[in-house]
Amino acid sequence: MSDANPKKRRWPRILLGVSLALNLLVIGLVAGTVLRFRGDGRHPPAFGPALYRALPDADRKALHGELRGRHDGGSKSRGEDFRALAEALRAVPFEPGAVEAVIEAQAQARAEVHKSLNQAWLARVSDMSDTERADYADRLEEVVRKGDRRRRHRD
């Protein structure tokens, strides 16, 4: 005798659930991409790079040269700092204070470079005429209005 109630198959329901989940995933990815890359300028650029990008070409090249000079001089000490950090990380027993000293030295070196670059930037802006500074302010507003495309893509 045959059963009046044949066994219901579960695989169509499972397949339907998986299909629904995949559709929702695709919709979420598309919506996220649209929101992320819509280019509405919601993400202003970082302060320092915006100041740099708005400068006239000649001033930007001069500051770049100053940065390169500082960067080349600091790369040797950074190499030494990485070696010191590797040694401190391998030390047994581990001494967090030694790692912290290397990290603090690097932070101080970065702060000194930033301060000197800020001073060089301010000297260049101070040397501008009133008209040049007003033009620079316009370019700066444009850089900020456009936002940082690279940052927006990383968020």
Q: State the Cα–Cα distance between residues 134 and 121, nearest whole angstrom.
A: 16
| 21 within a domain of the structure (yes/no) | no
pLDDT tens for each residue of 18-41: 888 888 888 888 877 776 666 554
16 in a structural domain = no
**pTM beyond 0.75, yes or no:** no
Evaluate whether residue 145 is within a structural domain. yes
- Distance CA(139)–CA(103), nearest Å, equals 36
Does the pLDDT value for residue 89 go beyond 50?
yes
Distance of alpha carbon 123 from alpha carbon 66, whole angstroms: 13
* Number of compact structural domains in the chain: 1
**Residue 82 within a domain:** yes
Say if residue 54 is exposed, middle or buried (CB neighbours under 10 Å; 0-12, 13-18, 19+): buried
140 within a domain of the structure (yes/no): yes
- Residue 117's pLDDT is 85
Q: What mean pLDDT, rounded, does the chain reach?
A: 80
Domain range holding 97?
47-154
* Over residues 66-83, mean pLDDT: 73
78 C-beta neighbours (distance < 10 Å), count: 13
The amino acid present at 67, given as its one-letter code, is L
Would you say residue 64 lies in a domain?
A: yes
Q: Is 70 a member of any domain?
A: yes
- End-to-end, the C-alpha distance of the chain in Å comes to 65
Helix (H, G, I), strand (E, B) or coil at 53: helix
Confidence band of 70 (pLDDT split at 50, 70, 90)? low
Please state, in angstroms and rounded to a whole number, the distance separating the CA atoms of residues 139 and 91: 51
Domain assignment of residue 8, yes or no: no
Q: Cα angle vertex 53, ends 49, 55, to 5°? A: 120
